[in-house]
Amino acid sequence: MSQSNRLAAGGLIDRASTIGFTFDGRRYAGHSGDTLASALLANGVKLVGRSFKYHRPRGVLTAGSEEPNALVELRSGARREPNAKATVAELYDGLEATSQNRWPSLAFDVMAVNQLAAPIFVAGFYYKTFMWPAKFWEKLYEPMIRRAAGLGRLSGEADPDSYEKITAHCDVLVIGSGPAGLAAALAAGRSGARVILAEEDFALGGRLNSDRRTIGDKASSAWAADAAAELESLPEVTVLRRTPVVGVYDDGVYAALERVSDHMREPAAHQPRQRLWRIVAKRTVLAAGALERPIPFGGNDTPGVMLASAVRTYLNRFGVAPGKRAVVYANNDDAAATIADLAAAGCEIAAVIDARGDAPALHAAARAAGASLIFGGAIARAYGGRSLKGCEIVDGRGRGFKVECDLIAVSAGWNPSIQLTTHLSARPVWDDRLAAFLPGARPVGMEVAGAAGGAYGLGEALAAGAKAGAEAAEACGFAAGAVDIPATDPEPGDTHGRGPWRSPVKRGKAFVDFQNDVTVSDVELAAREGFKSVEHLKRYTTLGMATDQGRTSNVLGLALMAEITGRSIPETGITAARAPFTPVAIGALGGAHRHKEFRPTRLPPSHFWAEEQGAAFTETGQWMRAAYFPRPGEKDWFETAVREVNTVRTAVGVYDASTLGKIDIQGADAGVFLDRVYINAFSSLAVGKARYGLMLREDGVAMDDGTTTRLGETHYYMTTTTANAGGVMRHLELCKQWLWPELDVHFSSVTDQWAQYAIAGPRSRDVVAALVDEGFDVSNEALPYMGAKELTVCGGVKARLFRLSFSGELAYELAVPARYGDAMIRAIIKAGEPFGICPYGAEALAIMRIEKGHAAGPELNGNTTAADLGMGKMLSKKKDFIGRTLSGREAFQDPERPSLVGFRPVDRSARLRSGAHFVPRGETPSAANDQGYMTSTAYSPSNGHWIGLGFLARGPERMGEIVRAYDPVRGGDIEVEVVSPVFVDPEGARLRA
Amino acid sequence: MPEPLVARSPLRAHVAPPASPAGEPGVVLREIPDLTLASVAALKGREAELTQAVSSAYGVDLPDGPKRVSSGAVSFVGVGPGKWLAASTVGTDFSGLPAAVADQSDGRAVFRLSGPKARETLATLVQIDLHPRAFQRGDAAVTHAASIAVTLWQVGDEPTYEIVMFRTYAATLWRWLVEAGRSRGIDARLGG
Amino acid sequence: MRIACPFCGPRGVDEFAYLGDATVKRPNADAPDALPAFVEYVYLRDNPAGLHRELWQHALGCQSWLVVTRNVRTHVIDQVEAARDVAAARLSEAE
């Protein structure tokens, strides 16, 4: 458990706390404050993973979320998380990490033979190699590719952890906590503005912790710690660590993912693993910094090749020497700091290669470190396989030689992290001086500060951050004082890295996109084959399309394509990013709303009673409805539903109809309004009467139906179907507010106010009479069919009683305030016992409505008109109403249009199925011979055979005709007879009894 | 003669579980039963008459924005242009007002959520800005809690909120609040 | 996207339900050319690349229908009016 590469002193780790972890089953030790990557490097572990396509050994390239190589599986069992970046994963005691995409072991991977077969894995290999024979694709090629190429494995088990979503509003959102971000947050925070500072790392400071810089009289990391402490002390500042901002949306809305418990073995009690923040910000300062670019050369993916800035991070922040003998390969001055820091840490520097030629800053650093300096040279090839052993260098005059080393630090300038400026489709702009893309148009309210805006120097980043933070606060109405920015130590020189973009020597695979195994040769091949635009390059080679989103490869790939095709970089293309900035787990997007809590569940007033009865439930939209009430000995739903239908038809049953939409409508113009939204008249309806109404859409197609009762001169009570309640309410409000603002009419949803029970069957009047209070008459004379009364029941509870029937029997709907709903159903059952009452559910109701030929959802299916439904005569000619004019259009008048009729099987024992199409007897089933379709079917206990409703061309004229019900999907092809859609009591005598 | 009907809450422990915190509660959830509620809409051309009637009957100036104005046991909450939710703790009958009045005493359920973590708990479900600079005692909002339509207002600085929802959603919203409150020390008890 | 409801204030777009074009006007059903006028009203739409007037409802809020003037290329909203006010103004103009 020795940490052989841990420096004796220094770094921001807590050396007092030593923690154990495992990698591929071996035990190691690290310190709190380490990442998995820094702890592995401290232990001398360089080989961390195998690459996606070629299974090449890979190590650690970076020290941040841009890492393309060091992907591992974290934890085990149900909490196993694939493709975690070792450079981001925070070390905790007992952390288990496993390398991925290797078999049988990381050191010996059989699939590494893929690189011998590299010619077939070149760019576009999906499209070329596996095209023929086509039938091999599914059975052979795809499984083979999936096994050979790949990333980590999912656990395959249910996620045991919880996730949370939360909304926060602020004046100023600061993204990133490097020098610019901290200065911005301080400037805005001190003004009293509400500030959120979001940092993806677990420590605030960014490169202030990675570099040995000086601000005033403090080390840069100490300055960052002081700034963090001050921000934490400000009451209106919220500091979010471990929280990358992952998406930018219109009007200052941002998504950020807080990794609440990812740095723990498992979340603390009741804590989510991750929390998704929706941040609504008036102003935003993007201070996301910049990422260093690598230089491609042969074998540049050998473990031990690392970005020069990452080398400094491991040295200075983590106290780890990533190598003992280093070669530095740079095309700018930034590597001077790496040389100095390596030397200070006691590392030997074998060679410094400046790709540009002589540059004073690197020259001086190399001389100070005692390293030999090679001007205008390049690395031809790195070698060592699983661990870097050395490299072949070519100097400016073309002479080659080998240098032994275990670390190559590469530096090719910086890419500002501008991704979040492009999420709303703004295009970045190329800056030749910086050789980098800078933010173009910014999202409204966003300012960019520091390295993300091209201000790479420490002093200028601090100043830019302070200015942006103060301006953002001022824009929100706060007086921001000047933030005193102390002087900083001298800047390193020209850090811009304007090329060369690659090693001029081609020897071995030189990787551009490490995660997707895209090489310089692949880019050249794409160019040769004509895929020269960046969009084509990306799709053909998959460059930039891995989970790292090409953070280290996109600009490089573009620059190479520009070079190959002799164009400028902006001519070649521009890379813009889409959300999310880093991968987001689906669990975090769902938050707490998963499984049964995916959406709300509405419980009707009889629900708890129905549970006690052992009812089976069915979901209708958000509602839980009782489907049927099984009794002991009944073998399935069918037997139960048939018994329930028979009870209603011969005695009495009760059904909870509370899920119907109920709308209270009042106002002087309520009647006129209803005349305009229904096809039939309601202003002429007498007080105390109900009427069935059909609503159309403006295009003449049926929208919804239900009964509306006139409770008073200016007071109506509308019911809608369960499914359409919300839509009808929206429609009514639109008609009122937008079409006819002159009308005095008001709506209030009372769906939940009333528990409404249908009491149906020949004995229903007896039951109702037993419930209503003395003095209320429910006789046929006092309350005829389609009558309504306000009265009291069970000793003074106010109620509404309607003489309505969906079942076709003598029936009532009794509505009481919902708080009495539970007691009311129990009272109805009790009062009904002498008459043989049973509760019935949605299944029995569905059977009875088909027996009565009532249209429901399958008939009101968005294609049918009033005439199709057999309600053409209801269309009022005296008034305009929604849908009237277009009801009259030619296609809707076509006599061949299928309209509603009933069907019964010629062979009475045959089963009918909805979805079957009607074809004339003796004709071939074809689109030309298609005359309509079956919409609803049921076994009718009252008829003793299956019955159906459907739409048939000229249906009502064809009573008694036999047609084919053709159902190829389920192998059905039977003869059915066209009959009236009313299968029970066609005269309606029962419901008027 | 049937037995008198008993009024019951939409909440039962098996769909609306109670919760008690390990230590001091960070947030307290209770149902407020027995509030009298009515939706009130001004009739066309009779707006002034309604304002006058409410003022003289209850001493309340009808708010014209999303605010709650109360006097004694009666309050009016602005829920839309020309629309209010009237509430009373003493069974006030609002049906005599010169307005379109619909009883909602059973159509809605009401929760009270209070405590130092109440705001944060609510922020996991409600997206509006509840920071004291943006939302204070007397402010009201018609919005949604993770898709469940709610009307809410603040009644105390602790802070304390009252949340009104359609009755049939009460059990779901209770569970969601309890779930969000677990990490924040929620004390949730049925029956007051 | 956030829409500033004239009654409730700015709210997230998930509180709003989109309907469509607010520039079309329901024709007079008694006019002799009512049928073609309704066909145009129901089916025919301009598709401007830029500012558009749209009907939205604050469905998970105060239920107000709104006329939102929005640049459909940038999502920038210029103006939000209560539909009832726009409709009433149209009505008084017609008189």
Task: Determine the residue among C2, C11, C14 to mutate to test chain B binding: the one whose Cβ has the most chain B Cβ atoms within 10 Å.
Answer: C11
Is B25 strand, coil or helix? coil
The single residue listed with the structure tokens 């040279």 is: A377
The continuous run of DSSP H or E covering A757 comes out as strand A754-760
pLDDT at A118: 66
Is A743 strand, coil or helix? coil
Per the structure block, which two tokens stand in for C95?
Answer: 């008189």
DSSP per residue, A511-564: EEETTTTEEHHHHHHHHHTT--SHHHHHHHH-TT-STTTTTTTHHHHHHHHHHH
**How many A/C residue pairs have CB atoms within 8 Å?**
73
pLDDT at A147 > cutoff 60? no
Within this chain, do residues B95 and B138 fall inside the same structural domain, yes or no? no
- From A704, A684, A660, select the one nearest A883 (Cα to Cα): A704
The sign of the torsion formed by the CA atoms of B74, B79, B81, B83 equals negative
A819–B9 C-beta distance less than 8 A: yes
More confident of the two residues B114 and A497: B114
Cis peptide before B98 (omega within 30 of 0): no
Within this chain, do residues B83 and B144 fall inside the same structural domain, yes or no? no
Q: How do residues A658-689 score in pLDDT, each as one tens digit?
A: 999 999 999 999 999 999 999 999 999 999 99
- Residue B10 falls within a domain, yes or no? no
Residue of A nearest to B185 (CA): A270
User: Cα dist. A729→A167, A664, A677, B107 in Å?
Assistant: 29, 11, 12, 16
C83–A737 C-beta distance less than 8 A: yes
Residue of A nearest to C27 (CA): A885
In this prediction, residue A1 has a pLDDT band, given cuts at 50, 70 and 90, of very low
Which residue among B71, B103, B135 closes a domain? B103
Q: How do residues A219-235 score in pLDDT, each as one tens digit?
A: 999 999 999 999 999 99
Looking at residue B62, which CATH number applies to its domain?
3.30.70
A444–C41 C-beta distance less than 8 A: no
Which residue among B84, B103, B122 closes a domain? B103
Within this chain, do residues B98 and B154 fall inside the same structural domain, yes or no? no
- Residue B71 falls within a domain, yes or no? yes
Residue A364 has φ and ψ, to the nearest 5°, of -65, -45
pLDDT at A575: 77
The answer to whether residue B56 neighbours chain A at the CB level (below 8 Å) is no
- Residue B170 falls within a domain, yes or no? yes
Q: How do residues A13-25 score in pLDDT, each as one tens digit?
A: 999 999 999 999 9
Alpha-carbon torsion angle A838, A844, A845, A848, nearest 10 = -110
In this prediction, residue A10 has a pLDDT band, given cuts at 50, 70 and 90, of very high
pLDDT at A136 > cutoff 80? no
Which of A249, A250, A738 is closest, CB to CB, to C83? A738
The answer to whether residue A164 neighbours chain B at the CB level (below 8 Å) is yes
Residue of C nearest to B140 (CA): C8
Within this chain, do residues B132 and B176 fall inside the same structural domain, yes or no? yes
Q: How far away is chain B from the Cα of C91, in angstroms, using its nearest Cα?
A: 15
Which of C12, C62, C82 is closest, CB to CB, to B142? C62
Which residue among B75, B103, B131 closes a domain? B103
Bridge partners, A749 (sequence order): A663
- From A476, A655, A62, select the one nearest B133 (Cα to Cα): A476
**How many A/B residue pairs have CB atoms within 8 Å?**
151
pLDDT at A369: 92
How would you class A784 by CB atoms within 10 Å of its CB: exposed for 0-12, middle for 13-18, buried for 19 or more? exposed
**Residues 6+ positions from B191 with CB-CB distance below 8 Å:** B9, B31
- Residue B21 falls within a domain, yes or no? no
Task: Determine the residue among C26, C75, C93 to mutate to test chain A binding: the one whose Cβ has the most chain A Cβ atoms within 10 Å.
Answer: C26
Strand order in the sheet with A689-696: A689-696, A702-712, A715-720, A661-666, A746-749
With beta carbons less than 8 A apart as the criterion, state whether B76 and B84 touch.
Answer: yes
pLDDT at A484: 84
- Residue B160 falls within a domain, yes or no? yes
In this prediction, residue A27 has a pLDDT band, given cuts at 50, 70 and 90, of very high
- From A462, A445, A464, A463, select the one nearest A453 (Cα to Cα): A464
Within this chain, do residues B40 and B94 fall inside the same structural domain, yes or no? yes
CA A329 to chain centre: 42
pLDDT at A360 > cutoff 60? yes
- Residue B60 falls within a domain, yes or no? yes
Residue A257 has φ and ψ, to the nearest 5°, of -115, 110
Within this chain, do residues B166 and B185 fall inside the same structural domain, yes or no? yes
- Residue B182 falls within a domain, yes or no? yes
Bridge partners, A249 (sequence order): A253
The single residue listed with the structure tokens 């509405």 is: A602
Q: Which domain holds residue B165?
A: 27-33+107-189
pLDDT over 90 for what percent of chain A? 88
Looking at residue B182, which CATH number applies to its domain?
3.30.1360.120
Q: How much is the ipTM here?
A: 0.98
* Count of structural domains within chain B: 2
pLDDT at A41: 98
A819–B7 C-beta distance less than 8 A: yes
In B15-98, the DSSP E strands lie at 27-31, 36-42, 68-71, 74-80, 83-88
For helices A179-190 and A220-233, angle between their N-to-C axes, nearest 10 degrees: 30
Within this chain, do residues B163 and B139 fall inside the same structural domain, yes or no? yes
- From C15, A342, A122, A75, select the one nearest B145 (Cα to Cα): C15
**Sequence letter at residue B91:** G
Within this chain, do residues B134 and B153 fall inside the same structural domain, yes or no? yes
pLDDT at B3: 86
Q: Region C49-73: what's the mean pLDDT?
A: 97
Walk along chain B (192 residues) and give the pLDDT tens digit of each residue.
688 999 999 999 999 999 999 999 999 999 999 899 999 999 999 999 999 999 999 999 999 999 999 999 999 999 999 999 999 999 999 999 999 999 999 999 999 999 999 999 999 999 999 999 999 999 999 999 999 999 999 999 999 999 999 999 999 999 999 999 999 999 999 985
Q: How do residues A408-427 score in pLDDT, each as one tens digit?
A: 999 999 999 999 999 998 99
d(CA A20, CA A866): 74
Q: Region A452-473: what's the mean pLDDT?
A: 97
Task: Determine the residue among B1, B3, B5 to mutate to test chain A binding: the one whose Cβ has the most chain A Cβ atoms within 10 Å.
Answer: B5
- From A406, A859, A829, select the one nearest A613 (Cα to Cα): A829
**Residues 6+ positions from A596 with CB-CB distance below 8 Å:** none
pLDDT over 70 for what percent of chain A? 96
More confident of the two residues A129 and A624: A624
Within this chain, do residues B150 and B132 fall inside the same structural domain, yes or no? yes
- From A125-139, A187-201, B147-161, the region with the lowest mean pLDDT: A125-139
d(CA A277, CA C78): 27
**Residues 6+ positions from A361 with CB-CB distance below 8 Å:** A333, A336, A492, A493, A494
Within this chain, do residues B128 and B184 fall inside the same structural domain, yes or no? yes
Task: Determine the residue among B117, B168, B172, B190 to mutate to test chain A binding: the one whose Cβ has the most chain A Cβ atoms within 10 Å.
Answer: B168
C62–B83 C-beta distance less than 8 A: yes
Q: How far away is chain A from the Cα of C92, in angstroms, using its nearest Cα?
A: 10
How would you class B32 by CB atoms within 10 Å of its CB: exposed for 0-12, middle for 13-18, buried for 19 or more? middle
Q: Region A634-646: what's the mean pLDDT?
A: 97
Per the structure block, which two tokens stand in for A481?
Answer: 């004082």
Within this chain, do residues B98 and B113 fall inside the same structural domain, yes or no? no
pLDDT at A493: 86
Within this chain, do residues B126 and B83 fall inside the same structural domain, yes or no? no
Which chains reach chain B with 3 or more Cβ–Cβ distances below 8 angstroms?
A, C
The sign of the torsion formed by the CA atoms of B159, B160, B164, B167 equals positive
In this prediction, residue A119 has a pLDDT band, given cuts at 50, 70 and 90, of low
Please name each of the domains of chain C with its CATH number. 2-94 (3.30.2270.10)
Q: Region A731-743: what's the mean pLDDT?
A: 97
| Average pLDDT value over all residues in chain A | 94
In this prediction, residue C68 has a pLDDT band, given cuts at 50, 70 and 90, of very high
B143–C8 C-beta distance less than 8 A: yes
**Sequence letter at residue C79:** Q
Which of C7, C9, C15 is closest, CB to CB, to B80? C7
Is A890 strand, coil or helix? helix
B100–A748 C-beta distance less than 8 A: yes
DSSP per residue, A632-690: TT--SHHHHHHHHHHHHHHS-EEEE-TTSEEEEEESTTHHHHHHHHBSS--TTPPTTEE
A253–C12 C-beta distance less than 8 A: yes
Contacts of A831 in chain B (CB under 8 A): 2
d(CA A940, CA B29): 50
Bridge partners, A654 (sequence order): A759, A839
The answer to whether residue A876 neighbours chain C at the CB level (below 8 Å) is no
pLDDT at A149 > cutoff 60? no
